[in-house]
């Protein structure tokens, strides 16, 4: 029988969380504070340089470079928000991971069909982690390749010049030497690479969490749905209904824990998309109008869209799965068997299942309809930006 290795499936997630000191098992002591201060102190230093560059561009009325610098500024703000979310909810996140691991350990007691459901879910979880990490890593690769290719281009044209990862203004003592002094350039290049890499790492750790938990909740509801199929074809109907009620309570409790942890962060996520996507699109359009194809902006736009769409899609899937459970309870064949006790239990299950099993933000339910509204808002903001500054 195939077994599930929890640590192997979520290796990317666990490793990333350990690196940035937000793993649920990380002790928050003086050493943690020191490590975190160093990691994000350097990150904030580069943010200072980026913010200063944006202000210089604004003073010089250089909207193209100002909007290009606004993209990493927005990343810093939301990275710090996401990291605070990971720290503040570390206990809750750790508890949900323990529940998932415990559910996987029960797999030997399940029949083949139920085991297939669990295996299929873990395969999807592994797929999400693998391809999301590849997509985000490609952002770093694109920035580096653009820098290297432009450097080679200038060398071939006998214009020896260092090309940074992100063109911006530094304080005067750095600005004078960044393109002709190898040591100054190396400092700025490493600082920019560190900024991009840490941004990617935080998003790798935070973004997939919600979809992973939602997928697990879907698998637990699917197991309940399977149990309803032959509930009246075997003996001990009330005992098995009692087991179903217990399973549903655990599943609904898990979904409630997701809502408890992700309500605020998903509200921020929707606002984040409404801000970053129009800004990045405008920066890309302005660069293109200057005959520059900012391929790094394309990657950022695609990643931002997927980042916003993932929770909406899996929350919508969770809602559908909850409705399937309610329908399975109603269609289980109760009308053909006279069992008052079982019917009362089924009535309670159906009434409870009528409440949507959805993940919510502060002001809305996270689903595909919400995603459509957010895309519409971003498009409206983009049009306003074009009308104001073009």
Per residue in 315-363, pLDDT (tens digit) is 888 889 888 888 888 877 766 777 777 788 888 888 887 887 888 888 8
Going from N- to C-terminal start, the domains of the chain cover 6-389
The model carries a pTM of 0.85
Give the integer Cα–Cα distance in Å for 104 and 114. 11
Give the integer Cα–Cα distance in Å for 351 and 312. 25
Q: Are 236 and 336 in contact (CB under 8 A)?
A: no
Per residue in 43-100, pLDDT (tens digit) is 898 888 888 888 887 888 777 777 777 778 888 888 888 888 888 888 888 888 888 8
Per-residue pLDDT of the chain (390 residues; tens, 9 = 90+): 456 777 778 888 888 888 888 888 888 889 889 999 999 998 898 888 888 888 887 888 777 777 777 778 888 888 888 888 888 888 888 888 888 888 888 877 777 888 888 888 888 888 888 888 888 888 778 777 777 777 777 777 766 666 777 777 777 777 777 767 778 778 888 888 888 888 888 888 888 888 889 998 998 888 888 888 777 776 777 788 888 888 888 888 888 888 888 888 888 888 888 887 887 787 777 777 777 766 777 887 888 888 888 888 888 888 898 888 888 888 777 667 777 777 888 888 888 878 878 888 888 888 888 888 888 888 888 788 777 766
> Which distant-in-sequence residues (6+ apart) come within 8 Å of 273 by Cβ?
304, 305, 307, 308, 374, 378
Give the integer Cα–Cα distance in Å for 188 and 190. 6
> Which distant-in-sequence residues (6+ apart) come within 8 Å of 171 by Cβ?
49, 52
Distance of CA 65 to CAs 51, 60, 284, Å?
A: 12, 10, 11
Distance of CA 149 to CAs 68, 146, 186, Å?
A: 20, 5, 17
Give the integer Cα–Cα distance in Å for 69 and 76. 11
**C-alpha closest to that of 72 among 198, 209, 210, 237:** 198
**Could you say which DSSP state residue 334 is in?**
G
């Amino acid at each position: 029988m195939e077994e599930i290795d929890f640590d192997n499936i979520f290796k990317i997630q666990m490793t990333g969380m350990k690196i940035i000191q937000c793993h649920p098992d990380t002790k928050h002591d003086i050493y943690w504070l020191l490590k975190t201060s160093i990691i994000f102190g350097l990150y904030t230093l580069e943010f200072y340089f980026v913010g200063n560059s944006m202000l210089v561009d604004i003073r010089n009325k250089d909207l193209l470079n100002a909007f290009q610098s606004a993209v990493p500024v927005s990343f810093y703000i939301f990275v710090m928000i996401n990291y605070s979310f990971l720290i503040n909810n570390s206990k809750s996140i750790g508890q949900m991971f323990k529940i998932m691991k415990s559910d996987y350990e029960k797999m030997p007691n399940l029949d083949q069909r139920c085991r297939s459901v669990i295996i299929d879910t873990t395969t999807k979880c592994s797929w999400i982690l693998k391809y999301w990490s590849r997509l985000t890593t490609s952002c770093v690769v694109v920035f580096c390749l653009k820098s290297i290719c432009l450097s080679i281009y200038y060398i071939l044209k006998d214009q020896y010049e260092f090309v940074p990862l992100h063109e911006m203004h530094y304080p005067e003592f750095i600005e004078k030497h960044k393109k002709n002094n190898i040591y100054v350039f190396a400092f700025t290049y490493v600082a920019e690479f560190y900024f991009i890499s840490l941004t990617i790492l935080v998003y790798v750790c935070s973004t997939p969490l919600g979809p992973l938990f939602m997928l697990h909740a879907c698998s637990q509801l699917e197991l309940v749905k399977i149990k309803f199929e032959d509930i009246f074809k075997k003996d001990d109907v009330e005992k098995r209904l009692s087991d179903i009620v217990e399973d549903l309570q655990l599943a609904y409790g898990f979904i409630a824990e997701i809502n408890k942890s992700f309500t605020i962060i998903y509200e921020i996520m929707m606002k984040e998309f409404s801000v970053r996507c129009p800004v990045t699109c405008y920066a890309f359009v302005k660069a293109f109008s200057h005959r520059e194809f900012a391929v790094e902006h394309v990657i950022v736009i695609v990643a931002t869209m997927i980042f916003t769409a993932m929770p909406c899609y899996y929350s919508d899937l969770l809602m559908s799965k909850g409705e399937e459970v309610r329908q399975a309870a109603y269609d289980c064949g109760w009308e053909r068997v006279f069992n008052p006790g079982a019917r009362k239990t089924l009535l309670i299950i159906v009434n409870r299942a009528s409440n949507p099993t959805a993940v919510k933000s502060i002001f809305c339910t996270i689903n595909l309809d919400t995603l459509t509204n957010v895309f519409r808002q971003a498009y409206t903001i983009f049009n306003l930006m074009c009308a104001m500054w073009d």
